[in-house]
Chains A and B, each alone.
Chain A
């Protein structure tokens, strides 16, 4: 057996330090008041303003219009995260199903075209996308926030690979058992893909949650702001000689981190299960 050496521990500890230290600092800083931070910079020790700061960012209306609080932003982020992940899973599963199981002309060309869009991230097509969404009147709506993002080459690719690994005999047995295309998809393929769906859900939820550029463009109405973009908003409201609310920004950042962490922790066992036991 391989014996752990001190150098191994050093490498691991360095990694842990670089990953965890910023989070700890953010949390510590978020428990101080703005003045302390403005005077002393980032804080290494816990302060006494924990409840106060978090209560403020969660429930006190802020922003330019004084209409939005952290709780509303949390809700918006949830809607974006879930809509984004579920939408991507539905769309990419259906696309992969069509590509793998139906013989239509240029199927593999279609797949490679979808796959090639991996090279064209949102940032590249952001102006035309905005123009389309805008002309459809979808600016400042949840659907405008979510729908343009749900086509997923990555998801389609993963589901395609998974479907191709499902033995053909299963499809043939189902055909003989009188299951049409829809029944086969619903009764057999979807249940078989459970762990795959869970894995993609984790990735996509976090990805959706962390969206910044698109929500910034498409939501000008503060009541639709997501957490990730709201953090910046707090720092922007500098009225007169007011000290920037670094404490609140930090608290909001911590809040923004929590749900993805929770999702990963909750789904982790599924994720591992999916890797360990083969259900095919």
Chain B
């Protein structure tokens, strides 16, 4: 168990491609950190640099108090779970778990004890003599986790470990990973592009975009106060509605002049305004309450069970609006709809930089 410190870490590939542009993160002992972002944002590269599988171009990585920039992956006291599990196909499950320990010259009895213990925790005791080929995806995933656990490392590194599983199993394993990490208390860094996975697992989220950190914070903090339009649209599903608006004296109006009213509280000429789908309320008639008022027409109703989403648009074009409504609400395509969002639920972003304005 240890802290992990990243200090302005950069990664430049041949041909001057900068994959990671000076990232600093302090990861506390026992913390579960999730690196999240779209593909190509540098999250996997960052994880692989912590693992020692990629060289660090500049900057420092410390595990505990030890600078590990030049330390071999095997000597970093970390264990990694790969997306495709990377189990040794020709070895039994037992040997898959034991291989790393054998290489370290551990006594046979101790190896046996640890493998049995990990098998018990992960409930894979029945398959110890099988080959990975004879296991289902979920079982392979458990073996991959087991290979990390037996090492009793200072940190677990997860590289999109659930993306090869089907949806149901993914939810199940997600809960299990969380439970396991809580009971073992091992510092963990987890990479995913799935914002739901990120939200549910993380103690703290690191949202990455184009090799830069967009925001670090607890999941709910990131959700409630996204630091930029990128974070706003990436975290939350369906994504936050983002509207380009112009200040119109004290009021606001949509860029094409239609269907929006609200007050210009921040004193700038133009903004990007963000409203989450669940913060838009359907109201009976034109509302003039404090906040943002929209008039849209319904395109599609998408029931998902516990709730439904209405996809709507402005009469004369402009961005699509998503609204969460109760699962039993009835809305016909083409129907006019008046929406209201309270001022406290409206996010303002700088229209040129996309950064949050508070």
Q: Which A residues are within 8 Å of any B CB, using their own CB?
A: 167, 169-170, 172-179, 183, 187-188, 191-192, 194, 277, 279-280
Contact = CB atoms under 8 A, between A and B. Distances in A.
A172 B218 CA distance: 31
Interface of B: 51-53, 72-74, 78-80, 82-84, 86-90, 99-100, 103-104, 133, 147
What 10 A-B pairs are tightest by C-beta distance, nearest first? A177-B100, A169-B86, A178-B74, A178-B103, A173-B86, A191-B90, A169-B82, A176-B73, A175-B73, A279-B89
Contacts of B73: 172, 175-176
Given A173-B86, A173-B147, 14 more contacts: A169-B82, A169-B83, A169-B84, A170-B86, A172-B73, A173-B82, A175-B72, A176-B52, A176-B73, A177-B100, A188-B88, A194-B90, A277-B133, A279-B89
Contact of B53 (A167, A175, A187): A175
27 contacts: A167-B86, A169-B83, A169-B86, A170-B86, A170-B88, A172-B51, A172-B73, A172-B80, A172-B82, A172-B86, A173-B80, A173-B86, A173-B147, A174-B88, A175-B53, A176-B73, A176-B74, A176-B79, A176-B100, A177-B74, A177-B99, A177-B100, A178-B100, A179-B74, A179-B99, A188-B90, A194-B90
Contacts of A188: 88, 90
A179 B88 CA distance: 12
Given A169-B84, A172-B53, A172-B80, A177 B89 contact: no
A183 B357 CA distance: 56
A176 B75 CA distance: 8
A177 B80 CA distance: 9
Contacts of A172: 51, 53, 73, 80, 82, 86
A167 B51 CA distance: 18
Contacts of B79: 176
A169 B83 CA distance: 9
A111 B133 CA distance: 33
A172 B133 CA distance: 20
Contacts of B86: 167, 169-170, 172-173
Contacts of A194: 90
B78 A176 contact: yes
B104 A167 contact: no
A241 B51 CA distance: 82
A266 B100 CA distance: 36
A187 B133 CA distance: 18
Contact of A177 (B83, B103, B133): B103
A177 to B, nearest CB: 3
Contacts of B104: 178
A199 to B, nearest CB: 17
Contacts of A187: 88, 99
Nearest to A173: B86
Contacts of A178: 74, 100, 103-104
Contacts of A174: 88, 99
Nearest to A277: B133
Contacts of B84: 167, 169
Contacts of B100: 176-178
B78 to A, nearest CB: 7
A183 B104 CA distance: 12
A208 B251 CA distance: 89
A167 B52 CA distance: 18
A194 B90 CA distance: 10
A137 to B, nearest CB: 43
Given A183-B103, A187-B99, A279-B133, A176 B90 contact: no
Contacts of A169: 82-84, 86
B357 to A, nearest CB: 43
Given A173-B80, A177-B103, A192 B89 contact: yes
A169 B82 CA distance: 7
B343 to A, nearest CB: 50
Nearest to A190: B90
Given A167-B84, A183-B103, A176 B51 contact: yes
A178 B71 CA distance: 12
B36 to A, nearest CB: 21
B9 to A, nearest CB: 19
Nearest to B83: A169
Nearest to A191: B90
B90 to A, nearest CB: 4
B103 A279 contact: no
Nearest to A169: B86
A229 to B, nearest CB: 41
B82 A179 contact: no
A55 B309 CA distance: 91
B89 A280 contact: yes
Contacts of A179: 74, 99, 103
Contacts of B88: 170, 173-174, 187-188
Contacts of B89: 192, 279-280
Contacts of B87: 173
A176 B147 CA distance: 11
Contacts of A167: 84, 86
B153 to A, nearest CB: 9
A279 B90 contact: yes
A179 B100 CA distance: 8
B137 to A, nearest CB: 16
Given A183-B103, A279-B133, A175 B90 contact: no
B22 to A, nearest CB: 25
